């Protein structure tokens, strides 16, 4: 696929400043910008809607937030960095001394220059997140400090984007990213852009085998809402990808789906190996991102993630240092090309059925056999096309995945493709 680094870079700069959260106008604005890349539909689910064990929260709007010292100086200002305000902070306008304020101030223990990222989605609270220097400055104030948070928390809606891309088969692959993080670049903006460009690329490809369900949701509550709204469709999905933290300078890695032996995990390893990339394997963990929902008992979608500087693993995780200096568009583009390879592998993943299950097909009738017999001494390995034809007809029983058959034959999946196409063209194999 073509290099889209420049486009990604442009969108990174446009989307980075928006103060996304679970809900709100910046989320909708993010989705509308993504619509420039791929024609997703935007859905709204009202606050208060009951969703399984959850309730869609009120919509959060921020106009301003700051801590002003007695000399009128904004020591901490939301306008400088939207991470300064704890997400979902309730409004307050009050003057208080440091001792009272302190429990609402969050700083990072290891990174004095970083503003940490904090949220209080489901417990009404307020807070500020500051650098080490700001913390010192506030702590050294002997005069009272004025705290002003000009936010709304009221009935509104949760927004998500959805893009359904039909293929020849109506069997779907889920590709999900989350749009709820404010100004951080690796987590999760990099994943949002990768997903959008992956969707655009797939839209271009002709003869897609599978259908694709791309979703852009706030993490957790958004994914849960989406599951509930699309329960029947989601239950039918076997394999998914959660795209996040794909643009850091660190190590490639992938998180396995809950069934270690599921083909998706093997395919990802093939992608890395064929690209000669070293990578970290993260076994399935109950923590993580929205694969938690998709892997739950009701859905059990085998969901994996390819990442670069995976969430939890890099020191700038959930801080203001996860910014455009840390993430580069070209690295997002590189990871995109891995996802693209994976999608191509998924596209070549399919199940064939030998239409002549009883005895052999008459190979010569189908121009698959030399006319003069008697001479050849077939070899036990899959060296010739004829061998491949015979082995494929032996194994393609309408149940076993062709990738699994390739492994049985100790042959790269890719090398099977011409023969599979030939046999389908000759109406000997058919796809299930």
DSSP symbol at 91: P
Our CB check for its own copies shows the closer of 8 and 301 to be 301
> Cβ of residue 37: shortest distance to its own copies, in angstroms?
28
Q: Which helix (H) or strand (E) holds 50?
A: strand 50-51
In angstroms, rounded to a whole number, what is the distance separating the alpha carbons of residues 139 and 357? 80
Our CB check for its own copies shows the closer of 16 and 54 to be 54
Our CB check for its own copies shows the closer of 122 and 330 to be 122
E-strand stretches of 309-362: 351-354
- Main-chain dihedrals φ then ψ at residue 293, nearest 5 degrees: -75, -45
- Buried-exposed string 101-132: b where 16+ CB fall within 10 A, e elsewhere: beebbbbbeebeebbbbbbebeeeebbbbbbe
Our CB check for its own copies shows the closer of 11 and 316 to be 316
Contact (CB, 8 A) for 238 and 71: no
Our CB check for its own copies shows the closer of 52 and 73 to be 52
Residue 161: how many other CB atoms lie within 10 Å: 27
> Cβ of residue 176: shortest distance to its own copies, in angstroms?
13
Our CB check for its own copies shows the closer of 74 and 292 to be 292
> Cβ of residue 355: shortest distance to its own copies, in angstroms?
9
Contact (CB, 8 A) for 177 and 82: no
Our CB check for its own copies shows the closer of 208 and 308 to be 308
Q: Please list, in sequence order, all residues whose beta carbon lies within 8 angstroms of the beta carbon of residue 244, skipping any fewer than 6 positions away.
A: 177, 178, 187, 188, 190, 191, 289, 305, 307, 311
Q: Pick the closest to residue 28 from 57, 63, 61, 56 (CA basis).
A: 61
Our CB check for its own copies shows the closer of 30 and 354 to be 354
Q: Pick the closest to residue 40 from 209, 177, 228, 190 (CA basis).
A: 177
Q: Which helix (H) or strand (E) holds 148?
A: strand 145-154
> Cβ of residue 129: shortest distance to its own copies, in angstroms?
9
Our CB check for its own copies shows the closer of 199 and 234 to be 234
Please give the residue ranges that form the binding site for its own copies (CB under 8 A): 52-55, 86-87, 106, 116-123, 125, 127, 220, 223-224, 227-228, 231, 258, 282-283, 285-287, 292-293, 295-299, 312, 317-318, 354, 356-362, 364-365, 371-375, 377-378, 380, 387, 390-391, 393-394, 397
Per DSSP bridges, beta strands 211-217 and 41-46 are unpaired
Our CB check for its own copies shows the closer of 93 and 287 to be 287
Residue 82: how many other CB atoms lie within 10 Å: 22
> Cβ of residue 344: shortest distance to its own copies, in angstroms?
28
> Cβ of residue 5: shortest distance to its own copies, in angstroms?
30
3-state SS assignment for residue 101: helix
In angstroms, rounded to a whole number, what is the distance separating the alpha carbons of residues 94 and 11? 38
> Cβ of residue 6: shortest distance to its own copies, in angstroms?
32
> Cβ of residue 410: shortest distance to its own copies, in angstroms?
12
> Cβ of residue 397: shortest distance to its own copies, in angstroms?
5
Q: Pick the closest to residue 106 from 83, 123, 90 (CA basis).
A: 83
Question: What single string gives the DSSP state of each residue in 309-323?
Answer: S-TTTSTTTTBTTSS
Terminal CA-to-CA distance of the chain, rounded, Å? 28
Q: Pick the closest to residue 344 from 410, 239, 419, 267 (CA basis).
A: 267
> Cβ of residue 52: shortest distance to its own copies, in angstroms?
5
Our CB check for its own copies shows the closer of 146 and 296 to be 296
> Cβ of residue 312: shortest distance to its own copies, in angstroms?
5
In angstroms, rounded to a whole number, what is the distance separating the alpha carbons of residues 285 and 262? 15
């Amino acid at each position: 696929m073509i290099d889209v680094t420049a486009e990604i870079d442009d969108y990174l700069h446009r989307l980075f400043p928006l103060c996304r959260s679970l809900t709100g106008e910046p989320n909708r604005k993010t989705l509308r910008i993504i619509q420039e890349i791929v024609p997703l539909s935007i859905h709204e689910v009202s606050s208060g809607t009951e969703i399984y064990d959850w309730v869609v929260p009120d919509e959060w709007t921020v106009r301003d937030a700051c801590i002003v010292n007695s000399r009128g100086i904004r020591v901490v200002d939301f306008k400088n960095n939207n991470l300064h305000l704890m997400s979902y902070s309730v409004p307050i306008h009050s003057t208080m001394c440091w001792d009272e304020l302190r429990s609402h101030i969050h700083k990072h223990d290891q990174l004095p220059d970083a503003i940490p990222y904090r949220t209080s989605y489901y417990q009404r609270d307020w807070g500020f997140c500051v650098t080490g220097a700001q913390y010192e400055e506030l702590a050294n104030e002997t005069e009272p400090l004025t705290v002003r948070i000009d936010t709304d928390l009221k009935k509104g809606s949760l927004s998500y984007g959805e893009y359904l891309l039909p293929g020849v088969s109506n069997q779907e692959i889920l590709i999900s990213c989350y749009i709820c993080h404010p100004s951080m670049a690796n987590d999760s903006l990099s994943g949002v852009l990768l997903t959008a460009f992956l969707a655009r690329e797939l839209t271009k490809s002709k003869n897609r085998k599978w259908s694709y369900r791309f979703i852009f949701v706030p993490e957790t509550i958004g994914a849960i809402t989406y599951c509930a709204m699309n329960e029947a469709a989601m239950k039918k999905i076997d394999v998914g990808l959660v795209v996040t933290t794909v643009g850091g300078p660190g190590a490639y890695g992938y998180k396995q789906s809950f069934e270690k032996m599921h083909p998706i995990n093997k395919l990802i390893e093939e992608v890395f190996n064929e690209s000669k990339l070293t990578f970290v394997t993260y076994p399935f963990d109950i923590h993580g991102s929205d694969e938690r929902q998709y892997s739950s008992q009701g859905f059990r979608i085998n969901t994996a993630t390819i990442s670069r500087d995976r969430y939890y693993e890099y020191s700038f995780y959930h801080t203001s240092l996860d910014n455009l200096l840390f993430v580069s568009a070209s690295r997002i583009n590189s990871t995109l090309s891995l996802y693209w390879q994976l999608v191509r592998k998924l596209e070549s993943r399919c199940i064939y059925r030998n239409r002549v299950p009883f005895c052999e097909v008459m190979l010569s009738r189908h121009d698959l056999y030399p006319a003069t017999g008697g001479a050849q001494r077939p070899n036990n390995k899959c060296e010739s096309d004829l061998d491949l034809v015979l082995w494929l007809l032996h194994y393609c029983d309408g149940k076993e995945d062709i990738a699994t058959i390739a492994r049985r034959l100790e042959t790269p999946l890719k090398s099977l493709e011409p023969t599979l196409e030939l046999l389908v063209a000759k109406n000997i194999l058919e796809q299930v």
